[in-house]
A = this chain, B = another copy of it.
Amino acid sequence: MANARPDHRLSKRIYDARVPALREQLVQLQVRLKESPAKVLLILAGEEAGGRSEVINTLSGWLDPRGFETVAFREPSDEERERPLMWRFWRCLPADGRLGIFAGSWYTELLRSHDGPPRKPAQTARLVERIRHFEKLLSDNGTLIIKVWLHLSKAEQRTRLAELAANPDTAWRVTPEARRQHRLHDSLARTAARLRKATHSPGAPWVVIDAADSRARNLAVADLIVRKLAAHLKRVDSAPARPPRPAAPKSLKPAGLARLLALPLDQKLSSAEYESKREKWLGRLNRATRAAQTANRSIIFVFEGWDAAGKGGAIRRLTSAIDARDYRVIPVAKPTDEEKAHHYLWRFWRHVPRAGLVTIYDRSWYGRVLVERLEGFCTEPEWRRAYGEINDFEGQLAEHGTIVVKFWMHISRDEQLNRFREREKTVYKRHKINAEDWRNRRKWAAYEIAVGDMLALTDKPVAPWHLIPANNKRHARLQILKTAAKAIEEALGL
């Protein structure tokens, strides 16, 4: 772990002499950053009275305010509490070309010691894992993560608190909590050092900066940003251009493909049978979703499947069992430019439902390992990473209590052809088919491989895949109703 040890007691003269060049470098780098697909996340943590807000204020005076923002995290709002822990951080991540300064972050949560029952070691370990995973995801996505720990010894902290207390404008900052942290300085510092070590990683290393002298501290932080950002932009600039079209895919886990191909598709269900059973399952699904709402559990349905597999129709039947005020259907099409400026999961995190509500994703994050993999919209390392990122995302949802129900609607290639032709013949369905659908159809075998890998690599107990044979629409719809009702009942222990 790097330890930047600036000279103590830097004179104002030297400081003033060095600042203009530093400012110039910072602003120049911001100009370059703005044009790049990189983003910067500066996380400031440290001992009480180490000067986090002074550093931010100083940086604010040096940086171009148009290219950065400070995000402070206080007590979570109710909208935040009703979602997984990391939701509040996802919603505030800097976009491409921007610098986000996080005053408070997941480390506030990790280091929190002063309220509530103490966290168990296993909980701490899980949170550390969560943080490592999140930072790796961001770093892999081109985010430069700079984590600064502003360090004060106990003696220095005492001096600093006394200075703050003596000034009527800053005395308010010496709160009982600050005094408590001072008393516990050494034990807190040991814990913090341990947690820094546990969350120190190549893409998100910690840098400890001595905060005893405020001028030296400010310069050290700015120097660090300049050095890291310059190196990062150089790396980004020299990254190879997007590789050519991917070759025909090879199966990563043939078991998934085998599972897919083994699915029988010739089910029959008469109209009369369907009608008679539908009401029963609609009722059960309705009761199950209401029970989930009463229990403040939210539900996420994921619909994936071949073009024309009947996702839209199935979603309509499913939603007919849910109060229209409780669900939202998110059709996943081309991302907006705000979405494109973030990690691919960002646009899905946006729509994670509040407690007791339902989000239905009509296509989803699985696009990353299907269309994006096959069309070369992302690189091979990107889609290969995605399986793990997705499992982690769904794991966070499940850990929060969200019930995740994923459907793959499966039809045969012949059935798809029938449906495409049918669509072309029906006036009000014609808009549902276009040249791209025909193009995708020609890649059927490649898609089968990608779907198989998806099934094999993201079928987890907390978020299993339900394969729905869908050549027979009625059968598929009924099975979706049944599966949904049972999955919710089981999650609720009904």
Contacts and interface: CB of A to CB of B under 8 A. Distances in A.
A327 B327 CA distance: 34
Given A169-B283, A325-B72, A65 B428 contact: no
B324 A103 contact: yes
A123 interface: no
B53 A324 contact: yes
Contacts of A28: 427-428, 431
A336 B336 contact: yes
Interface in A81-104: 101, 103-104
A388 B441 CA distance: 54
Contact of A325 (B53, B323, B331): B53
What is the oligomeric copy number?
2
Given A65-B315, A287-B169, A328 B27 contact: no
A198 interface: no
Interface string A11-43: 000000000000111011001000000000000
Q: Which applies to chain A's interface (DSSP): helix, strand, loop or mixed?
A: helix
B329 A65 contact: yes
Contact of A60 (B57, B67, B69, B320): B320
Contacts of A431: 27-28, 31, 64
A336 B337 contact: yes
Contacts of A57: 319-320, 323-324
Given A77-B78, A428-B28, A431-B27, A362 B326 contact: no
A436 interface: no
Interface string A325-342: 111110101001110000
Interface residues of A, number: 53
A36 to B, nearest CB: 14
Contacts of A172: 290
A463 B338 CA distance: 31
B70 A324 contact: yes
Contacts of A338: 336-338
A316 B65 contact: yes
Contact of A65 (B103, B331, B337): B331
B337 A27 contact: no
A203 to B, nearest CB: 26
A4 to B, nearest CB: 21
A61 interface: yes
Contacts of A31: 431
B66 A362 contact: yes
Contacts of A224: none
A286 interface: yes
Interface of A: 23-25, 27-28, 31, 53, 56-57, 60-61, 64-67, 69-70, 72, 74, 77-79, 101, 103-104, 169, 172, 283, 286-287, 290, 312, 315-316, 319-320, 323-329, 331, 333, 336-338, 354, 362, 427-428, 431
29 contacts: A24-B428, A25-B428, A28-B427, A28-B431, A31-B431, A57-B319, A57-B323, A57-B324, A60-B316, A61-B316, A61-B320, A64-B431, A65-B329, A65-B331, A66-B312, A66-B362, A69-B328, A69-B329, A70-B324, A70-B325, A70-B328, A72-B324, A77-B77, A77-B354, A78-B78, A78-B79, A104-B325, A336-B336, A337-B338
Given A24-B428, A79-B79, 5 more contacts: A60-B316, A60-B320, A66-B362, A72-B325, A78-B79
The 10 tightest CB contacts between A and B, nearest first, are A72-B325, A56-B324, A66-B331, A24-B428, A65-B329, A31-B431, A103-B325, A27-B428, A61-B316, A77-B79
